[in-house]
A and B are shown apart, each in its own frame.
Chain A
Amino acid sequence: MERADRILFVLDAAADPALAGYLEERPRLPVQVPVTLVLNKVDLLDVAGAAVLAGVQGRCGASAVCRLSALTGEGLEALSAHLRSSAGFEPAEGATVSARARHVEALGRAEAHLAEAARQLAGRDARELIAEELRRAREALGDIVGAQSSDELLGRIFASFCIGK
């Protein structure tokens, strides 16, 4: 859990409006990882429960709180937006466009290299050049998703085949 970017802690708000389940668990959660408290079943929350919850919610120590009803769908949109922004996706219009433009450009490069590889495959006997185009295509995709190391590739290859030292 220490390696997580974020912890989603889901509670039944109707059954435990005092958030006892969370407060009890909190000392065992890694301090450096932010916690989003997800309060489910808010559709079943009665007036007394709502008052208890309102009293404790602000002081519970969670980085964010999302109210949710999985049954009615209430709060789902907000949770989804919260997760997107926690993962670093900016909601601002301009930022989205620029990220997309960069991705589109990378995809375009990948496509061009794949097309060149296909052309080489059809026409010539130059396997190392085909491999070069495929590598460049992979590199372009890596600009979006992060590089895959050739070591992982070797793992795949030698899962079914071996050579000497």
Chain B
Amino acid sequence: MRFSRTFDLIVVGGGHAGTEAALAGARLGCATLLLTQSIETLGAMSCNPAIGGIGKGHLVREIDALGGAMARAADRAGIQFRTLNASKGPAVRATRAQADRQLYRKTIRGLLENQPGLSLFQQEVSDLILEGGRVRAVVTLSGIVFEAPAVVLTVGTFLGGRIHVGLEHHAGGRAGDAPSLPLASRLREIMPRCGRLKTGTPPRIDGRTIDYTALAVQHSDAPLPVFSFLGRAAEHPRQVPCHITHTNERTHDIIRAAFDRSPMFTGAIAGVGPRYCPSVEDKVHRFADKGAHQVFIEPEGLDTHEVYPNGISTSLPFDVQCEFVRSIRGLEQAHLTRPGYAIEYDFFDPRDLRASLETKAVGGLFFAGQINGTTGYEEAAAQGLLAGINAALHQRGQAPWIVQRHEGYLGVLVDDLVTRGTAEPYRMFTSRAEHRLLLREDNADARLTPRGRELGLIDDERWAFFEAKQRALESEFERLRSRRLKPGQIPREWAQRVLGGSAPARDVSVFELLRRPEVSYQSLLELDPTLAIGALSDDRLAPQVQRDMEVRARYAGYIERAADDIERVRRHEQTPLPEDLDYAALAGLSIEVRQKLAAVRPATLGQAARVPGVTPAAISILVVHLHRRAPRVA
């Protein structure tokens, strides 16, 4: 049966990728349909109840800078906020929030339901209708056909999902939810390269059975961090602490004794899990010299006793899970409310995607999230946003928007995926970015919001705040540079305490003082209270402006140098490589390089240079080839 109405854009899946894709499509004016197996689980956090962290917090801020939902939802659902890497300088500082699962889901559902131009429909998608190499419609299990010229698939771990607990296993997309099997087999026909990945979760515990007096406590930071550029700490619900405990030798003995009943070690699981977040049995096996592993006891919400013990994800049999959990300090009487499990699922090699996240195989079909081999809510949301934007542009017949690596972690994420592919669930790290002094949480708005406004993603409220902030930044920068202090105006006591004695011998501007690593904006206020930022139109501005000044001072020089680097590679980024380039016939390239380039088919010379194993010499050969070829094309 054909549905009575056609849409501009259909998003399949209502997780973190689907949410951002659907919202972005609708913000860009597309008549958008979000199809989900269950409207009740829109915005569900299937794994740990936290948003952000190193690298991930950066993605959340970038999504926010483009008008996305994740940061706003985290501000309204976050029950413990921290700034990670606080001692390591602003470029690598990252915000992380524990979220109340129910509040988060409720907030996301509210945003989806209230988005003009967006419709929801509950039904599993089982098939795609293609026509002339392009997508035309999706079909649900009961045979309803929804037509649209652009489709974004964000189906998470539901494709061919299989859940393992000990040696028992069954088909499933998440505990309690069915997997998408018909769609998985249809996609295996369409997509050339498919792989299998694995992820896992720990058992959950009834908090009333935990002896918290035996555990270390970790409270929110003060002042309370805020995720969204438009957010306020006052939006946060009541804050509650996390707790910390550790596994011990007895825990490890119990786990070791059960290796023969672990699907990880018996070969029942073929999928590859993440290196940086192994299951507890993997940790005990691989890091045999470690006598203890940290376990974070994370609250699941304000009105539930259930907690999430982060660090002991496992697929051991349930009886072993009970036994090893109870060997951990503070958890001796623990009642497990749900068993931990591992889940294996299909993903498709992201090298078969364009940088717009459109599949190379089918026009108008876009993929985002775990289907592309990533892990994490933030990575999923980031791809969802970009896929939603590019699907909308595609539908309008416009060129896609490709975020460059120096513009955002959004660009790093997509470029890594489509250029390198991935052999394990891909997680963002700040070390993946070569321009990480530029790609900070604090300037995500300056990097992305103007482009977002041009595209039509940014509403007037956000744009007005952005413009007010830019004005405040310029006037404050000017003020700090023009305000000069004579040596006599710096009290000996302050110079001794803050500068360690070495007071400047000549006139300095306040900005020059701020450039010294020992000097913070706060310490300048001690020097001269009149330096305080004057009244600003909005209470959210002062902390953002203050932080920006510290960053400008600290990274002055580095930022200019990075800009030079970017200018140098820009030419390569803008040199397209023909899609039909026959790498096998390119004389001078080694066979290895030819094969590597043919496996990726990079869209630009810049992308080719980042394919692992491609040397600077090989790029020179490509440049020569393009020169020879160019006159014939023109």
Tell me the A residues contacting B by CB distance below 8 Å.
Answer: 2-5, 32-33, 88, 124-129, 132, 135, 139, 143, 146-147, 149-151, 153-155, 158-160, 162-165
B267 within 8 A of A: no
Which residue of B48, B89, B296 is within 8 Å of A129 (Cβ)? Answer: B89
Is the pair B437, A128 in contact by a Cβ cutoff of 8 Å? yes
Write out the residue numbers on chain B whose beta carbons fall within 8 Å of the beta carbon of A126: 89, 517, 554
Knowing A129-B558, A146-B616, A165-B199, the reply to whether A154 touches B275 (Cβ < 8 A) is yes
Is the pair B376, A127 in contact by a Cβ cutoff of 8 Å? no
**How far is it, in angstroms, between the C-alpha of A155 and the C-alpha of B429 when the chains are bound?**
12
Is the pair A155, B48 in contact by a Cβ cutoff of 8 Å? no
Residues of B in contact with A, size category: 35 or more
Which residue of B310, B420, B517, B590 is within 8 Å of A5 (Cβ)? Answer: B590
**How far is it, in angstroms, between the C-alpha of A162 and the C-alpha of B283 when the chains are bound?**
9
Write out the residue numbers on chain A whose beta carbons fall within 8 Å of the beta carbon of B610: 147
Listed residue (B425, B431, B436) with the most chain A CB atoms within 10 angstroms of its CB: B431
B629 within 8 A of A: no
**Main DSSP-derived SS at the A contact region:** loop
Is the pair B420, A151 in contact by a Cβ cutoff of 8 Å? yes
Across the interface, name the chain A residue whose C-beta is closest to B429. Answer: A154
List residues 417-448 of chain B with CB under 8 A from any CB of chain A: 420, 425, 427, 429, 431-432, 434, 436-437
Write out the residue numbers on chain B whose beta carbons fall within 8 Å of the beta carbon of A162: 275-278, 283, 287
**How far is it, in angstroms, between the C-alpha of A155 and the C-alpha of B222 when the chains are bound?**
34
Nearest 10 A/B pairs, CB to CB: A128-B89, A146-B615, A165-B277, A158-B275, A158-B276, A124-B517, A150-B431, A128-B92, A128-B91, A5-B590
Is the pair B47, A165 in contact by a Cβ cutoff of 8 Å? yes
Show 12 A/B contacts (Cβ-Cβ < 8 Å), sorted by A. A5-B590, A128-B91, A128-B437, A158-B276, A162-B277, A163-B276, A163-B277, A164-B48, A165-B199, A165-B376, A165-B425, A165-B427
**How far is it, in angstroms, between the C-alpha of A5 and the C-alpha of B50 when the chains are bound?**
49
Listed residue (A124, A150, A159, A164) with the most chain B CB atoms within 10 angstroms of its CB: A164
B612 within 8 A of A: yes
B117 within 8 A of A: no
B274 within 8 A of A: yes
**How far is it, in angstroms, between the C-alpha of A101 and the C-alpha of B152 when the chains are bound?**
51
Write out the residue numbers on chain B whose beta carbons fall within 8 Å of the beta carbon of A139: 434
**How far is it, in angstroms, between the C-alpha of A8 and the C-alpha of B603 when the chains are bound?**
36
Known: A3-B595, A126-B89, A128-B88. 5 other contacts (CB 8 A): A128-B437, A139-B434, A154-B431, A164-B53, A165-B376
Nearest CB of A to B53, in Å? 7
Write out the residue numbers on chain A whose beta carbons fall within 8 Å of the beta carbon of B89: 126-129
B617 within 8 A of A: yes
